[in-house]
Amino acid sequence: MPAARFAFPAAVLLTLALLWELAVWGFQVPKWILPSPSAIWQAFWEMRALLAVHVAQTMLEVAIGVSTAVAAGVSVAAAINFSPWLRRAVYPLLVISQTVPILALAPLLIIWFGFGIAPKVIVVTLFCFFPIAINTSDGLTSTEPELIDLFRSMGATWLQIWRKVRLPAALPYFFSGLKIAATYSVTGAIVGEWVGAKQGLGIYMLRSSAAFKTAQVFSAIAITSLLSIALFLSVFALERTMMPWHFQER
């Protein structure tokens, strides 16, 4: 079954690449307008050593940014579930924060924090914070009241109720948010690099495109997608390890 699940989209993808290759060759499209898949592969292979350096930089930004977003998102979610007053005050702000165009914010972050890694990490954090905070918060709200009643009737402390009921109950929601965040995160880092950086996939794309090395741009785009997919799959794997009960056949 899993083999068949991947075989079909893979076949579609391969057919599309083949049509693409034939079209570029048949219509004699110049390489700087639209390179063929084989030319993209060639661009990747020639630049692989340099690409590795850029990928490492981007992934470092992603790692720090996502970790910060997890810490901040879970803390804010816990805080607004701790007090109804805080919830009323902060929840609307959370939603408003998400309406701010991060793309417009990125150049300002460069002005404020310079050309180092900090503004990129902040952009990744901004991209990832919201889905984690909102999902975790909804998860903490949705704890079954009967479970909390049971714990209270057993004389449990509020700390025990949080540790043994509310947090585990919110875990599936947290992972839904983390999966969304993981898919956003690489794009976030590239947006951060786009407006000014020394290293990273974003700046590699920008330089390649300025030099009309379109095949290099495409290879960097493909790498970005693959990294995002890899991140998504690792979150999925982590989810299965941490919540085996959630994936039981019912």
Partner 1 sequence: MTLLEVDALSKSFDGSARRGSSSRIEAVVDVTFTVHAGEFLTIIGPSGCGKSTLLRMLAGLAQPDAGSIALQGQPLPDASARQGRFGYMPQRDALLPWRSVIDNAILGAELAGGSRHAARAEARQLLTLFGLDGFENAWPSELSGGMRQRAALLRTFLAGYDILLLDEPFGALDALTRRVLQQWLLGVRARFSKTILFITHDVDEALLLGDRVLVFSPRPGRIAAQLSVDLPHPRNEDTVLETDFLALKRNALAHLKL
CA distances from 72 to 95, 133, 234, 237 (A): 15, 8, 21, 23
- Single residue of 34, 44, 110, 168 touching partner 1 by CB under 8 A: 168
Q: How far is the CB of 49 from partner 1 (least distance, A)?
A: 46
Helices 214-242 and 167-194 meet at what angle, rounded to 10?
170
Pick out residues in 125-144 that bind partner 1 (CB under 8 A). Answer: 144
Q: How far is the CB of 137 from partner 1 (least distance, A)?
A: 19
Residue with the two structure tokens 């990747």: 44
Under rule CB under 8 A, residue 151 binds partner 1:
yes
b/e string for 41-59 if b means 16 or more Cβ within 10 A? bebbeebeeebeebbebbb
How far is residue 232's CA from residue 216's CA, in Å, rounded to a whole number? 24
The rounded radius of gyration (Å) of the Cα atoms in the chain is 22
- Single residue of 152, 198, 207, 240 touching partner 1 by CB under 8 A: 152
- Single residue of 60, 72, 171, 238 touching partner 1 by CB under 8 A: 171
Span interacting with partner 1, options 47-55, 71-79, 165-173, 213-221, rule CB under 8 A: 165-173
Distance, first Cα to last Cα, the chain: 19
Under rule CB under 8 A, residue 250 binds partner 1:
yes
Q: Hey, what are 7's tokens? A: 């075989």
- Single residue of 99, 146, 210, 241 touching partner 1 by CB under 8 A: 146
Under rule CB under 8 A, residue 156 binds partner 1:
yes
Q: Hey, what are 28's tokens? A: 């004699």
Q: How far is the CB of 171 from partner 1 (least distance, A)?
A: 7
Q: Say how many residues touch partner 1, by CB under 8 A.
A: 24
Residue placing its CB nearer to partner 1 in the complex, 34 or 243: 243
Residue placing its CB nearer to partner 1 in the complex, 119 or 139: 139
How far is residue 65's CA from residue 200's CA, in Å, rounded to a whole number? 14
Pick out residues in 190-249 that bind partner 1 (CB under 8 A). Answer: 243-246, 248-249
User: Using the 8-state DSSP alphabet, how is residue 198 labeled?
Assistant: S
Under rule CB under 8 A, residue 149 binds partner 1:
yes
Q: How far is the CB of 157 from partner 1 (least distance, A)?
A: 8
Measured at the alpha carbon of residue 161, what is the angle toward residues 157 and 166, in degrees to the nearest 5? 160
Binding residues (CB under 8 A) for partner 1: these are: 144, 146-147, 149-156, 160, 164-165, 168-169, 171, 243-246, 248-250
